[in-house]
Amino acid sequence: MRPSGRKLDEMRAVSVEVGFTKHAEGSALIKMGDTHVLCTATIEDRVPPFIKGSGLGWVTAEYGMLPRATNTRMRREAASGKQGGRTVEIQRLIGRSLRAGVDRVALGERQITVDCDVLQADGGTRCASITGGWIALRLAVNKLMKAGDVITDPLVDPVAAISCGIYAGQPVLDLDYPEDSEAGVDGNFIMTGSKKLIEVQMSAEGSTYSRDQMNQLMDLAEKGVSELVAVQKEVTA
C-alpha cells in the first residue's frame, strides 16, 4: 500500500498553468501532486563560445529550489556562495535531456535557457523540471516560428521524465517524498514521445537490484511518460 493510496502504476495528478509569468518567452507552472516547479524559457541570440560560428543552437538549463520549498528550510544557495552537488547534477541532466529532443541545426545559432525553480517540493522535482521545461521550451520555440525566425520546427520529439522505484518491495510509478525517502532503489527515466530512451539513471543506496526489477521499472516508466507527453501536447496545442 502506498502512503498516498495510489495504485502501483498510478501517477500523481498533473496540472500545468502555461504563461505563469509574463516576461519569459515560454513559461509554465507544472504541478505533479504537491511538487510545483516554475519553468521559464529564455531565448538569447548569443551561444556558448565552443559553438560560436557553427550555425548550431544550444539549449541549457538551470535548477534551483526556494529555501522553504521543503519541509525544513534549506540554506539559500546564493547565500552559501555556491550551488550544491545535487543542484549541479540535476541541472546538467535537465539540459542534456532537453537537447536530445532538439534539432540544433534547425534551431539556428541561438541559445535557449530553461530555468526550473522548485516552489514546493514533494519528490520527483528533477523529472517535473524536465517535463515542465519541455513545455516552456515548446512555447518559446512557437514564438520563434510564429515570428519566422525559425522555419523548420527544431523540436523533433517531445521529452518527458518520470521516476520509478522499489518501495516496500513493489515497483511503483512516480515516487512522492514519503516513498522516495524510504525506497532503496529508484530511477529517473527520460524518454521521448516515441518511447525512445534519452537517459536512464537507476541507483540503489545501500542496496542493489536485479535486471528483472530494472525491466519492471522500465515498463512503468513507459506508461508514465506516455501520459505526460499527452499532457504536454494538450497544454501547448
- Single residue of 48, 146, 169, 205 touching a copy of itself by CB under 8 A: 205
- Single residue of 106, 119, 145, 230 touching a copy of itself by CB under 8 A: 119
Contacts of 216 (CB under 8 A, 6+ apart): 171
123 labelled binding-site residue: no
Asked if residue 199 binds a copy of itself (CB under 8 A), the reply is: yes
42 neighbors 112 (Cβ within 8 angstroms):
yes
- Single residue of 1, 5, 79, 237 touching a copy of itself by CB under 8 A: 79
- Single residue of 214, 223, 226, 230 touching a copy of itself by CB under 8 A: 214
Asked if residue 137 binds a copy of itself (CB under 8 A), the reply is: no
64 neighbors 77 (Cβ within 8 angstroms):
yes
- Single residue of 100, 106, 145, 230 touching a copy of itself by CB under 8 A: 100
Helices (H), 13-84: 77-80
Q: CA 95, 84, 14 angle in degrees (round to 5)?
A: 50
108 labelled binding-site residue: no
Give the span between the Cα atoms of 37 and 144, in whole angstroms.
24
Asked if residue 181 binds a copy of itself (CB under 8 A), the reply is: no
Output the furthest CA–CA distance in the chain (Å, rounded): 56
Is the sign of the CA dihedral 100, 102, 108, 112 positive or negative?
Answer: negative
Would you state the cell numbers that stand for residue 18, as one nine-digit string?
Answer: 502555461
Minimum Å gap between C-beta 77 and a copy of itself is 4
Applying CB under 8 A, the residues found at the interface with a copy of itself are 20-24, 27, 34, 36, 38, 40, 42, 44, 62, 64, 66-71, 73, 76-79, 81-83, 85, 87-89, 92, 96, 99-100, 104, 113, 115, 117, 119-121, 157, 187, 192, 196-211, 214, 218
Q: Which residues are annotated as a binding site for phosphate?
A: 86, 124-126
